[in-house]
Amino acid sequence: MNSESCPLKTQPACRCQTCSSQTDPGGFCRHLTQCQLETLKTRSRWSSLLRGETIKSEDLLIWPIIAISTGVLSFQQLLEDGRKIIAALFMRGDIIDMRGLANRHHGHLIALGKTEICRLSPRTFEAAIDDNIDARKVAWSSLRRQGNRAMDHGADLAKKQALEKLASFVFECRHRLPDSVSDSKVHIPVRRLDLADYLGMQPETVSRGFKELQARGIIGIEGISNIEILDFPRLRRIANGDKHTENLRQTHENHFQAATGS
Amino acid sequence: MNSESCPLKTQPACRCQTCSSQTDPGGFCRHLTQCQLETLKTRSRWSSLLRGETIKSEDLLIWPIIAISTGVLSFQQLLEDGRKIIAALFMRGDIIDMRGLANRHHGHLIALGKTEICRLSPRTFEAAIDDNIDARKVAWSSLRRQGNRAMDHGADLAKKQALEKLASFVFECRHRLPDSVSDSKVHIPVRRLDLADYLGMQPETVSRGFKELQARGIIGIEGISNIEILDFPRLRRIANGDKHTENLRQTHENHFQAATGS
DNA sequence: CGGCAAGTTGAGCCAGGTCAACTCCGGTGG
DNA sequence: CCACCGGAGTTGACCTGGCTCAACTTGCCG
């Protein structure tokens, strides 16, 4: 990836006006008092990352709390032999607490596209959490959502097959980044390559999977990063792993139908 | 599974003296004041679960906060076609917050053996969290550890192969349930069948995997649920996915070694 | 209009899933 | 105390979904 070693260009958090943590209904900063916000603002750091840029461990030691305004940040691990794993995706509105994880071999935070983040002053964040029940609840539920998402994602990875993982991912995107224009259009905010690493499969398989869903008339593909859900219930059934009714290859149809008939 | 429909036998939380949440150094209840503990005690419910018993959704609605004293609780999903997935394991000391997850299709909490839990009064729990900074920090870090664990587990599931997942799981057990007697002995607190569901593989593959590790002299197997780590570094390397040096089948050895020589 | 990375397509192969048979073991009742 | 039973675990044989490798196309950026 590019420019991993170049230091982050940072500036005091002056973008609060347009930051989603401030503008979105469930955003963290929106729940702070004016005074708390001012303090947090002056002590936090705004940065903009490009695709492939890594937040360095030494930065994470000082700034372990990160709020994502726009874009996608990945938490990835590199196996000794080069296999890459994206263990989690963080998007708009997520608050990441990396305290204690920075120095370990756990993984790295890497941007998957242009990403705008605000690195919150941990001390001020902690103080706000202590004083402000609303802010505390927002942070707590963000953390809990991350955990639940990780568990759901683990479930996807554990026993689902390629098509089912893809279907599941489409719903995850739809849920996390609701499209303001149309209910059935879904924006895929990551490249195929990264998607493969996130879903534990090969880019080739991702490609074939989307093509298969398209061939069955379940989704429409519009460019590389936008799809349209054409058959909602069938996609839902595939995502839920309902093999008997939906998740069968055309070529095996007769075989499986015979089996279900018994 | 047995007696899923039988109502939980409960009693007021009178076991605090011996509960790990009270006796263990990092336990939640240990950080409460005497007064808070008394209140929580009278409003919470102790129960003991046997293998296969499910905590019902309606119970979770009223008692969504659960502290595990001993045993193992699994969070599992059932795919439409019968595939079972264990998305997470909860053990001694974990505090589970199921608020908002009870009624959904997310999953069920099922005991994997004799498990003793304390269902905390959510209101009192919340009050303790609000008043007591120490207790808040313990709960927060427990939640965060669950999330991190779920991400690590997801990483295992995504790209690791059978042997690597098993090695990784051995370390997870060692880390979560340290053996007081010996550093190299590890207790596996779940059956092979459940382990398979947790690691996203088949029981047959689990069996073959352990046998392979034993054949290579990396672990020793003592009974069904205890193993001994004989070669720590090699097990570590396998868990970390270091194919080049360790994770090769005997039969493929020459092939892979030729490849690394290039 | 090149140059390069991302994405796609095709052919072949293998790790692990599947199925069936067998052993092991704890619990139960005669 | 032993015979029996059922579920868990293991072993072997076979099969397949998705990985691998290689070639090709597409799309982005200067």
Residue with tokens 């459940």: B194
Q: Which of B:168-207 have CB within 8 Å of A? A: 197-200
Query: B203-239 burial string, b = 16+ CB within 10 Å, else e?
Result: eebbeebbebbeebebbeeeeeeebebebeebbbbbb
Secondary structure of residue B139 in the 3-state scheme:
helix
Mutate to test the interface with A, among B75, B76, B78, B80 (most CBs of A within 10 A): B80
Q: What is the pLDDT of residue B82?
A: 86
Residue in chain B lying closest to A237 (CA): B80
Contact flag, residue B161 CB and nucleic strand C, below 7 A: yes
On strand C, nucleotides with any atom < 7 Å from a protein CB are: 6-11, 15-20
Residue in A75, A143, A199 closest to B144 by CB: A143
pLDDT computed for residue B245 by the predictor: 63
A133 contacts chain B (CB < 8 A): yes
Which of A107, A112, A145, A108 has its CA nearest to residue A28? A145
Shortest CA–C1' contact from B83: which nucleotide?
C17
pLDDT reported for residue B10:
55
Whether residue A170 contacts residue A228, with contact meaning beta carbons closer than 8 Å, is answered with: no
3-class SS string, chain A: CCCCCCCCCEEECCCCCCCHHHHCCCCCHHHCCHHHHHHHHHHCEEEEECCCCEECHHHHHHCCEEEEEECEEEEEEECCCCCEEEEEEEECCCEEECCCCCCCCCCEEEECCCEEEEEECHHHHHHHHHHCHHHHHHHHHHHHHHHHHHHHHHHHHHHCCHHHHHHHHHHHHHHHCCCCCCCCEEECCCCHHHHHHHHCCCHHHHHHHHHHHHHCCCEEECCCCEEEECCHHHHHHHHCCCCCCCCCCHHHHHHHHHHHHC
Domains and CATH numbers, chain B: 11-149 (2.60.120.10), 160-260 (1.10.10.10)
CA distance A85 to A154: 13
For residue B186, give the DSSP letter: E
Which residues 163-192 of chain B have a CB under 7 Å from nucleic chain D?
Answer: 191-192
Which pLDDT value is given to residue B14? 67
Statement: the CB of A134 is under 7 Å from strand C = no
Spatial distance between the Cα atoms of B151 and A101, rounded to a whole number of angstroms: 12
Q: Is B241 within 8 Å of A79 when comparing Cβ atoms?
A: yes
CA of B216 to C1' of D3 (A): 40
- Rounded to whole angstroms, how far apart are CA atoms B224 and B241? 26
Q: State the pTM of this model.
A: 0.88
Quote the pLDDT of residue B11: 57
Note down pLDDT in tens along chain A; length 262 residues.
Answer: 444 434 455 556 568 888 999 999 989 999 999 999 999 999 999 999 999 999 998 899 999 999 999 999 999 999 988 899 999 999 999 999 999 887 667 899 999 999 999 999 999 999 999 999 999 999 999 999 999 999 999 999 999 999 999 999 999 999 998 877 788 999 999 999 999 999 999 999 999 999 999 999 999 999 889 999 999 999 999 999 887 665 444 433 333 333 333 3
- Indicate yes or no: CB of B87 within 8 angstroms of CB of A151: yes
Contact A10, A47 (CB under 8 A): yes
Phi, psi of A77 (to 5 degrees): -115, 150
Residues of A in contact with B242 (CB under 8 A): 79-81
Give me the DSSP letters along B187-226: E--S-HHHHHHHHTS-HHHHHHHHHHHHHTTSEEEETTTE
Contacts of A205 in chain B (CB under 8 A): none
How many Å from the CA of B257 to C1' of C6? 31
Tell which B residues from 4 to 63 touch A, by Cβ distance under 8 Å: none
Per-residue model confidence as pLDDT tens digits over B79-112? 988 899 999 999 999 999 999 886 667 799 999 9
Q: For residue B85, give the chain A residue with the closest CA.
A: A155
Q: Name the residue of chain A whose CA is nearest to B242's CA.
A: A80
Order across the sheet with B115-120: list the strands.
B10-12, B45-49, B115-120, B65-70, B95-97
Q: Is the CB of B226 under 7 A from strand C?
A: no
Residue ranges in chain B modelled with pLDDT below 50: 1-7, 247-262
Give pairs for B160-163: CB < 8 Å, separation 24+: B160/A79, B160/B241, B161/B247, B162/B201, B162/B205, B162/B206, B162/B208, B162/B209, B163/B209, B163/B212, B163/B213, B163/B238, B163/B247
Position B105, amino acid: H
Q: Find the residue in A nearest to B80 (Cα).
A: A242
Neighbours of B67 (CB within 10 A): 29
| Beta-carbon separation of B159 and A85 below 8 A | yes
Task: Reduce the DSSP state of residue B17 to 3 states and report it.
Answer: coil
Name the residue facing A150 among B97, B147, B197 (closest C-beta).
B147
CA angle (A190, A192, A196) in 5-degree steps:
100
The residue among A165, A160, A163 whose CA lies nearest residue A247 is: A163
In angstroms, the CA A204 to CA A212 distance is: 12
- B contact test, residue of A65, A148, A206, A242 with most B CBs within 10 A: A148
Which residues of chain A are within 8 Å of residue B146 when distances are taken between CB atoms? 147
The H-or-E segment that residue B236 falls in is: helix B232-239
Q: Rounded to a whole number, what is the distance in Å from the CA of A76 to chain B's nearest CA?
A: 9
The closest nt to A205, taking CA to C1', is D18
Of A223, A245, A225, A226, the closest CA to residue A236 belongs to A245
Structure tokens at B90: 């909860």
CA B113 to C1' D6 (Å) is 18
Q: Which of A151, A200, A243 sits opposite B158 (nearest CB)?
A: A200
CB distance B72 to B51 below 8 Å = no
Residue A180, pLDDT score: 77
Contact in structure between A125 and B140 (CB atoms under 8 Å): no
Which residue type sits at A2?
N
pLDDT, residue A254, reads 37
- Whether the CB of A78 is below 8 Å from some CB of chain B: the reply is no
A81–B242 C-beta distance less than 8 A = yes
Q: Which of residues 109-148 of B touch strand C (CB under 7 A)?
A: none
